[in-house]
């Protein structure tokens, strides 16, 4: 009787890691979807907004800015939604935070271009609705 109980406990212990792996997989999938939704990859629409500010903007410039925002900025605090602050607030925040993060001038320009272009795109989308 006791050996049957031990077998049952061993079986349960084998199932727990599998359930944990499945849970982690679903969690990562949900996080990835939120990142893409809240901080979209650079596309032509975003590039069009970026070119209003910087005629030399490229998709790779915007991608570098996004990557900096999601990795370097969020290494100290969460990545704030772009719509949370106005354009002028973002300009101040990004300048100050770029110094704190020890960004070089190009990195500051890239992250600022991404955030401000996305901010403009979001504002435009909100007025269209």
One pLDDT digit (tens) per residue for the chain, 129 residues: 555 555 555 665 565 566 555 544 444 444 444 555 678 899 999 999 899 989 999 999 999 999 999 999 888 888 888 989 999 999 999 999 999 999 999 999 999 999 999 999 988 887 765
Q: What pTM value is reported for the model? A: 0.72
Q: Which of 67, 77, 80 is nearest to 100 (CA)?
A: 77
Dist CA 98 CA 104 (whole Å):
8
Q: Where are the domains of the chain?
A: 1-38, 40-128
CA 127 to chain centre: 24
Q: Which of 119, 126, 117 is nearest to 53 (CA)?
A: 117
DSSP state of 57: -
3-state secondary structure 46-68: HHHHHHHHCCCCCHHHHHHHHHH
Contact 103, 68 (CB under 8 A): yes
Tokens of residue 51, six digits: 């070119």
């Amino acid at each position: 009787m006791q050996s049957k109980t031990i077998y049952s406990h061993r079986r349960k212990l084998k199932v727990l890691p599998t359930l944990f792996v499945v849970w982690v997989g679903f969690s990562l999938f949900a996080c990835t979807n939120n990142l893409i939704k809240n901080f979209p990859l650079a596309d032509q629409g975003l590039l069009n907004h970026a070119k209003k500010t910087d005629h030399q903007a490229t998709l790779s410039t915007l991608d570098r800015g996004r990557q900096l925002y999601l990795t370097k900025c969020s290494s100290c605090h969460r990545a704030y939604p772009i719509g949370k602050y106005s354009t002028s607030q973002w300009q101040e925040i990004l300048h100050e935070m770029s110094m704190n993060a020890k960004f070089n001038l190009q990195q500051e320009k890239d992250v600022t271009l991404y955030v401000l272009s996305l901010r403009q795109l979001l504002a435009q989308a909100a007025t269209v609705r």
